[in-house]
Amino acid sequence: MAAPSSSMHQHDLPHVLAVDDNLIDRKLVEKLLRNSSCKVTTAENGPRALELLGLTSGGQNSMNGRSKVNLVITDYCMPGMTGYELLKKIKESSVMKEVPVVIMSSENIPTRINKCLEEGAQMFILKPLKQSDVKKLTCQLMN
């Protein structure tokens, strides 16, 4: 989980939840987001992400509502719960459905992209992620 930077007021920064089963990609997306002045929490799978968002019954919400999530960015291809399934669960919840969800994928498959956009994903980004991608999405989605 992200360690707060001492030079910034953490509660003023947008808070992003980044979900990816790949360790390298998690580290990369975290750094890219921090460079765009975001507070970042990472999760390695859908169920953990739902826990952190407080969307599982009886689950531990380790963010305890003190740090509202402003954006969820998730990988599409994950074992168990895919990014698409996570998107659906978020959009189905009364509490979190307004939160923008961005899907990332290494594969440029139009039917996949359309499926996600139709389900309410705000954006679909191709991997590997670059700084310009992340700057664009934070500008567009959190201002």
Partner 1 sequence: MDGLVQLQKQLVDYTASLFHEGFLDEQFNQLQQLQDESNPDFVVEVVTLFFEDAERLLNELSKTLGQPSIDFKKLDAHVHQLKGSSSSIGAQRVHRVCISFRNSCEEQNVEGCLKNLQQVTHEYSLVKSKLETLLRMEQQILAAGG
Contact footprint for partner 1 (CB under 8 A): 5, 21-25, 27-28, 31-32, 35, 77, 79, 106, 127-131
- The answer to whether residues 73 and 17 touch, using CB atoms and an 8 Å cutoff, is yes
- The answer to whether residues 15 and 38 touch, using CB atoms and an 8 Å cutoff, is yes
- Closest approach of Cβ 29 to partner 1, in Å? 9
Measured from the CB atom, the residue of 53 and 74 that comes closer to partner 1 is 74
Pick from 107, 54, 57: nearest CA to 82: 107
Measured from the CB atom, the residue of 28 and 86 that comes closer to partner 1 is 28
Measured from the CB atom, the residue of 35 and 62 that comes closer to partner 1 is 35
Structure tokens at 43: 């999760």
Rounded Cα distance between 78 and 13, Å, is 28
End-to-end Cα, the chain, rounded Å: 24
- Closest approach of Cβ 15 to partner 1, in Å? 18
Measured from the CB atom, the residue of 5 and 60 that comes closer to partner 1 is 5
- Closest approach of Cβ 137 to partner 1, in Å? 16
DSSP conformation class of 38 = -
- Closest approach of Cβ 126 to partner 1, in Å? 10
